[in-house]
Amino acid sequence: MSKKKALSVLLTAGLVLSVNGVYAQGPEGAPNSNAASAFDNKIIKKISADNMYNTIDSLSKEPRAAGTDGELKGAQYIKGQFEKYGYETELQPFKIYDVIRNNVSGLVEIGGQNLNPYVFSGSYSGEVTAEVMHVGKAISGTVPDSVKGKIALIERGDITFVEKIQNVLNKGAVGVIMYNNSGSSNAFGQASYGQNIPAVAITRVQGLELVEQLKAGSFTAKIKVSGSGFLEKTSYNVIAKMKPHKNKDTGQIVMIGAHHDSVPGGPGANDDASGVSAVLELARVMSNMPIDTELRFVTFGSEEKGLLGSYHYASTLSSEEADRIVGHFQMDMIGSKDAGGDNKANGLIMYTIDGKKNTVTDLASAAGLRTALGEVVPYGQLGRSDHQPFHELGIPAALFIHSPLEPWYHTPADTIDKIDKNKLQETAEIVGAAVYQIARPDTPALEHSRVAPKPVDYDFENRPPGA
Ligand code: BES
Ligand code: ZN
């Protein structure tokens, strides 16, 4: 059964009744109430903002930049906590590549003259001497086979640097000289790991001159690059699973995530030790709860390098497994005193990739009404965090964040003293109540219960995060 179908069966079974795609859960015997149900209370009464604060304090003592010892220490701390709570845990390693620029020097020599090029970020270090061939913008499908063994002279523009290098590399080029498509600068360009030919940049004037010279006859160039390349490092995801009892298993999975890496040099108290603290606290309070849905708590590494950990994790899911995931709740920056402005819901917003409501936002917005916040949570459209790869797999996913962001975002001042326990508590209660609404074991039998569904209405907000 597909996850969407399975969930709609669950819904019609009476877990929650969908009205215009919006649903809420009142307490037993109290139809249409927005008060917390006995099931909500099993979770929310146990959530401790003090525990969360202590987690943030432990994690934010030093930066946790991707691939550093700080990240590994943080990941091991998180794993240890999951283990303490009785979860099956895994430290999932993956390779990342950091650009090296150590006394970088670059040279393009033509007819005894040095063009003093800029070395592409991440360019392979090496030396080649070969004939130069102009290949225009190096758009795929337009690069001739005859560039093989030659240095490709490329015009900047229309497609990415990495794509241009790859298009000529695929045809056997041995070096890249790229000229600007406007202005007078030569400072641009980046190569990707594994593109093992030197790549340098020159100005537009220099490039057009070479194009003219080539019309008059062929010539060779020498490119020499040193001090540039990539350093391979290891980053980690931390995964904790709790499977339901065999005879109570719906086969579904619900995921709760955050990222544990910080930006280099930043303690990342709010970004995103705060999200990790909620993941750990929800893992703690749910560890002894009866469930009929697998719970998966994951903290991702290398989010700040471009969602690398969550993309890696998503790539390890079989399609059968991805199909069983009914929701991904991502918490990223959920505890800043200085975020959220005077927006409703204390600044909390749920961002989806497509700007549409989904199961996650429906359940969580309704949970907002029955928990400490006491209000529905609005939703909006934004990527920029680990909900992206799950959305791309067709999994309902949302980012929980306070928006607009605090001024300390991505600075060394993102420290524990800026954390607001109330915001932590409110957000963790919402996600906890929403998740447990899916995971609680009575759900398939709920068609016979007196639980009354109460739909909630919540708004789209065009709220830019401001950084
Ligand atoms: N915690 C932020 C996510 C964020 C930032 C959400 C601003 C909304 C507004 C995250 O850690 C981050 O900084 N993401 C990067 C993008 C990522 C793909 C490297 C960003 O937003 O610059
Ligand atoms: Zn973040």
The domain boundary, picked from 218, 248, 267, lies at 218
Q: For ligand 1, is residue 334 a contact (CB within 6 Å)?
A: no
* Distance (Å, whole) CA 399 – CA 353: 9
Question: Does residue 465 lie within any of the structural domains?
Answer: no
Number of H helices, E strands in the chain: 12, 14
SS3 44: helix
Establish if 462 belongs to a structural domain. Answer: no
Q: Which residues surround ligand 2, an ion (CB under 5 A)?
A: 271-272, 332
The phi and psi torsions of 68 (rounded to 5 degrees) equal -100, 170
pLDDT confidence of residue 371? 95
Q: In terms of domains, do 15 and 148 share one?
A: no
Indicate if 20 and 146 belong to the same structural domain: no
Domains identified in the chain, total number? 2
Amino acid at 146: S
Give the number of whichever ligand sits closest to the CA of residue 387.
1
Residue of 336, 366, 303 whose CA lies nearest to 465: 336
Q: What gap in Å lies between CA 30 and CA 131, rounded to an integer?
A: 82
The reply to whether ligand 1 has any atom less than 6 angstroms from the CB of 308 is no
Q: Which of 350, 385, 410 to mutate to test the pocket of ligand 1 (most atoms within 8 A of CB)?
A: 385
Q: What is the pLDDT of residue 50?
A: 98
Give the dihedral of Cα atoms 54, 59, 60, 65; nearest 10 deg: -160
Q: Are residues 353 and 429 in the same domain?
A: yes
Nearest CA to ligand 1 atom 15: 384
Q: Which of 443, 432, 448 is nearest to 36 (CA)?
A: 432
- Point out the domain boundary residue: 191, 218, 245: 218
Tell whether 82 is covered by a domain: yes
* CB proximity list for 416: less than 8 A, separation 6 or greater: 53, 56, 57, 60, 267, 269
The amino acid sitting at 280 is: L
Q: Quick one: 45 and 152 in the same domain? A: no
Mean pLDDT score across all residues of the chain: 91
Looking at the domain assignment, is residue 463 inside a domain?
Answer: no
Q: Are residues 322 and 421 in the same domain?
A: yes
Distance from Cα 296 to the centre of ligand 1, integer Å: 23
**CATH number of the domain to which 405 belongs:** 3.40.630.10
The verdict on residue 343 lying in a domain is: yes
SS3 of residue 458 by DSSP: coil
Are residue 423 and residue 350 in the same domain, yes or no? Answer: yes
Q: Which ligand has the shortest distance to the CA of 467? A: 1
| Single residue among 186, 218, 250 that ends a domain in this structure | 218
Report the alpha-carbon distance of residue 371 to residue 375 in Å, rounded. Answer: 8
86-117: pLDDT as tens digits = 999 999 999 999 999 999 999 999 999 999 99
**Residues whose CB falls within 8 Å of the CB of residue 41, separated by 6 or more in sequence, listed in order:** none
Instruction: Report the nearest-CA residue for atom 6 of ligand 1.
Output: 384
Instruction: Tell me whether the omega of the peptide bond preceding residue 455 falls within 30 degrees of 0, making it cis.
Output: no
Q: Where residue 205 sits, what CATH number does that domain have?
A: 3.50.30.30
pLDDT score of 21: 33
Tell me what pLDDT residue 467 has. 72
Long-range Cβ contact pairs of 446-450 (< 8 A, separation 24 or more): 446/13, 446/14, 446/15, 447/13, 447/14, 448/14, 449/14, 449/28, 450/28, 450/29, 450/31
Distance 402 CA to ligand 2 centre (A): 12
Task: Please give the pLDDT value at position 442.
Answer: 80
pLDDT tens digits in sequence order for the chain, 467 residues long? 444 434 443 443 334 433 333 344 444 434 446 789 888 999 999 999 999 999 999 999 999 999 999 999 999 999 999 999 999 999 999 999 999 999 999 999 999 999 999 999 999 999 999 999 999 999 999 999 999 999 999 999 999 999 999 999 999 999 999 999 999 999 999 999 999 999 999 999 999 999 999 999 999 999 999 999 999 999 999 999 999 988 889 999 999 999 999 999 999 999 999 999 999 999 999 998 999 999 999 999 999 999 999 999 999 999 999 999 999 999 999 999 999 999 999 999 999 999 999 999 999 999 999 999 999 999 999 999 999 999 999 999 999 999 999 999 999 999 999 999 999 999 999 999 999 999 998 865 333 333 434 668 999 999 999 87
Number of Cβ within a 10 Å radius of residue 93: 14
Same domain for 128 and 92? no
Give the C-alpha separation, 134 to 143, whole Å.
9
Range of the domain at 148: 112-218
Q: How many angstroms is it from 349 CA to the middle of ligand 2?
A: 15
CA 444 from chain center: how many Å?
Answer: 33
Answer whether 425's CB lies under 8 Å from 47's CB.
yes
> Do 265 and 307 meet the contact criterion of CB atoms below 8 Å apart?
no
Is 55 domain-assigned?
Answer: yes
Same-domain check for residues 266 and 209? no
Q: Is 466 in the pocket of ligand 1 (CB under 6 A)?
A: no
On whether residue 105 sits in a domain, the answer given is no
- 113 bridge partner residues: 110
Instruction: Report whether residue 303 contacts ligand 1, using a CB cutoff of 6 Å.
Output: yes
Ligand 1 atom with the smallest distance to the CA of 307 is: 18
Q: Report pLDDT digits (tens) over 274-303.
A: 999 999 999 999 998 999 999 999 999 999
- CB of residue 333 inside a 6 A radius of ligand 1: yes
Residue 263 lies in a domain: yes
Q: How far, in Å, CA of 210 to CA of 219, rounded?
A: 10
Residue 121 sits in the same domain as residue 238: no
| pLDDT given at position 35 | 86
pLDDT computed for residue 33 by the predictor:
61
Size (the chain), residues: 467
Q: Is the CB of 306 under 6 A from ligand 1?
A: yes
Residues 260 and 277: their CA atoms lie apart, in Å, by: 10
Residues 268 and 384 in one domain: yes
Please give the DSSP secondary-structure letter assigned to residue 449. Answer: S
Say whether both 237 and 342 belong to one domain: yes
The confidence score (pLDDT) of residue 34 equals: 79
- What is residue 139's DSSP assignment? -
Q: Is the CB of 261 under 6 A from ligand 1?
A: no
Q: What is the DSSP string of 187-238?
A: ---B--TT--S-EEEE-HHHHHHHHHHHHH---EEEEEEEEEEEEEEEEEEE
The response to whether residue 274 sits with its C-beta less than 6 Å from ligand 1 reads: no
CA distances to 111, 333, 421 from 257, rounded to whole Å, are 58, 12, 19
CB of residue 231 inside a 6 A radius of ligand 1: no
What are the residues whose beta carbons fall under 8 Å from the beta carbon of 216, sequence distance 6 or more? none
Based on the fold, state whether residues 47 and 162 are members of the same structural domain.
Answer: no
Closest CA to 258 of 328, 331, 190: 331
412 CA distance to ligand 2 middle (Å): 14
Q: What is d(CA 259, CA 296) in angstroms, rounded to the nearest whole number?
A: 14
